[in-house]
Structure 1
Amino acid sequence: MSRWLSNPDILLEQGAVHRGFAERGDLAGLARSVIEAACHNGCMTGPGAEAMTWLRQLPDRDRLELAGIWAEWHARTVAAETPSAEAFRRNTSYLKAELLVVATGVARGLDPDLMAAERQAVLAELAGQHVAFGHREWELAEAEIEAGRIPGPAVLAAFRRTVVDYHAEPALRELLTRFPGPVLNPGEAWADQALEDAAAGGEPWHRLLGHRAPISAGAPSAKWLDAGRDLLDAAGPESVRRRAHQWFELVGRERAVPLRGSLGPAAYDPYNVQALRALAWLLSLLPPRDDTCDALARLVATSLRGLPRSGAYPVRVAEAGVVALARIGTTDARLELDGLRRQVTHKTVLRRIDRALAA
């Protein structure tokens, strides 16, 4: 069964059934109806956004009673006790996940401690994963944030990678606008060093690292470059150059703790890739120097070294390095591009190098 429900008419039919139970005052029936719908619709849909909004508009007493019913079912639905899970045509772990998310969503804002330990256990597990690919875990994080218990940076990192890698879930995107955390995802050697340096450098450095390359842009726009110049001036252009050279040396090193579900310990973090591309572009705004051209060329070579097993993101970094060298356009930059032309075998990057040399 799909993780998303593609037929909105089913959600409308389910909503009518839910309202019928509510009008009759049958909260036990409503509780069962909602979970039946959630188990039918797929783990990324659950009862549906409109159904959850409607449930949260019920009287507070009813919301708490419903959440209590689901919390009780969750507590007694253990691995050895499967009939209730079978009744919903799902396995026990699936049912428990839906019960947790739905109870959390309906009780949010009323009882922050209801199933808090269960939420925190799920989020702790998520912290070691490449992406959130389960049951709308962002709704659990939403409840924790609202309760004043901010999940750690590793949870935020998984959500960020989820948005970049898999889907544009509106609720998750909206949550990320309110989820405090570091400007980069920790875990990669270069990003950890950049975060440490930014902490010492203060707000100008955080804003510089936050000036990310647009995901779909192959080259920086004039507006992006204008903003970048201001950020370089605030942080100190030569300080940025020195730090960026050092960070580039750390790119591609294996993570100390690999993420479950990633392409391997040296896989690039897709969220951090946009900051890394931006740094390459920003270096092209500085007065030309041969050591910067060398640093950019080595960034290109490093990013292509692990292909094809390292995925598509290193290619985007390599392309950014080529774009930066092309923008610099000096003899040293062209020599580096010519050297890359003889080494690179990736066709997309090679075409970009050829265009740069032909300009």
Structure 2
Amino acid sequence: MDAALRSGDPLSVLDVVAAAHETSGGELRRLWDGMVRHLERQLAGMRAFLLWVLPGRYEQVPREFVLRPALLHLEAVLGRDLEADVLAVERRTVLGAIGNRWAVKDHTLLALTHLKIGTGSTLPPATVATVRRSPRLINDPVWAALAVRVMEPVLNLGEWWSDVALADIAVLGSDWHDLVAHAGAAQAVKPTAKWERATRELLARVGGAEVHKRILSWLSLVGLPRTNPLMRTANGEWVPVNERLDPLQRG
């Protein structure tokens, strides 16, 4: 890589980038991560030079190749403190496509998602649902650390009951939002005294009878076909994902 950088030929640099990604199998915690960090430390002029040729190289990569999201990750890192955002539309497309999947374990997609959140931007609601499902389904602590940072929407989009609940909450107001968020944050098998006190306070604000009626109406929709059908593959194996309920509504 240093030799390619000294040559001043950005295409040669990207050739080394592609080789590093292939050698790493796309795994961020191996050689690929070091390569991205090394390029991130280059002077602004060199990074801008690389950004200038990156879109062309991106378009040359077949759509099904995992190098594509890796180049998007590299572009986001290189241009973080520059005005150039040459592949913004492509990044949005890839992040949106995550919402069509049951779960993801690709750490390049993780990096793209993390960068999006780090800039203060919001993710598409369907993408949020996939981010929340992934750590529970593939037992990945790195995805789990990201999932707990995504607080909105308060429920996962994509099932009839949760879609109706989200629409109702938008009309009913912040007290209902807080009640549902509080319920979703419960982790212990047995509620704690502190959790129960907060629950009673929230119920008093919205009315216990109304909560009972509204939640029963939501639960009557559980099990209906998904409003956002998902790809039938998770981790490379066939899984009947559209017949399953989300294992956890919030991270």
> Shorter-normalised TM-score: what interval?
0.7 to 0.9
State the partner residue of 1:72. 56
For the pair 1:269 / 2:246, whether they are aligned, the reply is yes
Larger RCO: 1 or 2 (CA < 8 Å, sep 6+):
2
Q: Cα distance, 1:203 vs. partner?
A: 1.0
Q: Cα distance, 1:192 vs. partner?
A: 1.4
Q: CA RMSD in A?
A: 3.3
For the pair 1:240 / 2:211, whether they are aligned, the reply is yes
Q: Cα distance, 1:160 vs. partner?
A: 1.6
State the partner residue of 1:281. none
Give the Cα separation in 2 of the matches to 1:257 and 1:23: 45
Contact 1:213–1:220 (Cα < 8 Å) also in 2: no
Contact 2:47–2:78 (Cα < 8 Å) also in 1: yes
Contact 1:142–1:175 (Cα < 8 Å) also in 2: no
In structure 2, which of residues 88, 93, 100 is the aligned counterpart of residue 116 of structure 1?
Answer: 88
In structure 1, which of residues 19, 33, 47 is the aligned counterpart of residue 16 of structure 2?
Answer: 33
SS at structure 1 position matched to 2:155: coil
Q: Which amino acid aligns with 1:131?
A: A
Give the Cα separation in 2 of the matches to 1:176 and 1:116: 25
For the pair 1:202 / 2:173, whether they are aligned, the reply is yes
Q: Which amino acid aligns with 1:185?
A: N
Q: Cα distance, 1:231 vs. partner?
A: 2.4
Contact 1:184–1:191 (Cα < 8 Å) also in 2: yes
Give the Cα separation in 1 of the matches to 2:177 and 2:36: 37
* TM-score (norm. length: structure 1): 0.57
List alignment gaps of at least 5 residues for structure 2.
233-238
> Matched residue pairs, number?
242
In structure 1, which of residues 255, 259, 267 is the aligned counterpart of residue 230 of structure 2?
Answer: 259
Give the Cα separation in 2 of the matches to 1:65 and 1:260: 38
Give the Cα separation in 2 of the matches to 1:138 and 1:258: 22
State the partner residue of 1:132. 104
List alignment gaps of at least 5 residues for structure 1.
1-17, 80-91, 276-359
Give the Cα separation in 2 of the matches to 1:268 and 1:117: 31
For the pair 1:227 / 2:227, whether they are aligned, the reply is no
Give the Cα separation in 2 of the matches to 1:132 and 1:199: 29
The aligned runs of 1:306-345 (5 Å cut-off) are none
SS at structure 2 position matched to 1:206: helix
Give the Cα separation in 2 of the matches to 1:112 and 1:191: 38
Give the Cα separation in 2 of the matches to 1:171 and 1:269: 16
For the pair 1:57 / 2:41, whether they are aligned, the reply is yes
Residues 181/112 of structure 1: CA separation in 2 closer, same or farther (3 Å cut): farther
Encode CA deviations 1:213-232: one digit per residue, 9 max, x unaligned: 545x3332333323322322
Q: Cα distance, 1:58 vs. partner?
A: 2.4
Encode CA deviations 1:242-262: one digit per residue, 9 max, x unaligned: 212222222222213421136
Contact 1:123–1:141 (Cα < 8 Å) also in 2: yes
Contact 1:27–1:62 (Cα < 8 Å) also in 2: no
Residues 230/56 of structure 1: CA separation in 2 closer, same or farther (3 Å cut): farther
SS at structure 1 position matched to 2:223: coil
Q: Quick check: which has more Rg, 1 or 2?
A: 1
Contact 1:35–1:47 (Cα < 8 Å) also in 2: no
Give the Cα separation in 1 of the matches to 2:209 and 2:136: 31
Give the Cα separation in 2 of the matches to 1:38 and 1:66: 17
For the pair 1:154 / 2:126, whether they are aligned, the reply is yes
Q: Single out whichever of 134-143 and 185-194 deviates more from structure 2.
A: 134-143
Give the Cα separation in 1 of the matches to 2:58 and 2:31: 17
Give the Cα separation in 1 of the matches to 2:148 and 2:81: 19
State the partner residue of 1:103. 75
Contact 1:189–1:255 (Cα < 8 Å) also in 2: yes
Give the Cα separation in 2 of the matches to 1:31 and 1:96: 12
Encode CA deviations 1:110-142: one digit per residue, 9 max, x unaligned: 245311232233233222221234462243345
Q: Which amino acid aligns with 1:56?
A: E
Contact 1:183–1:206 (Cα < 8 Å) also in 2: yes
Q: Cα distance, 1:184 vs. partner?
A: 0.5
* TM-score (norm. length: structure 2): 0.77
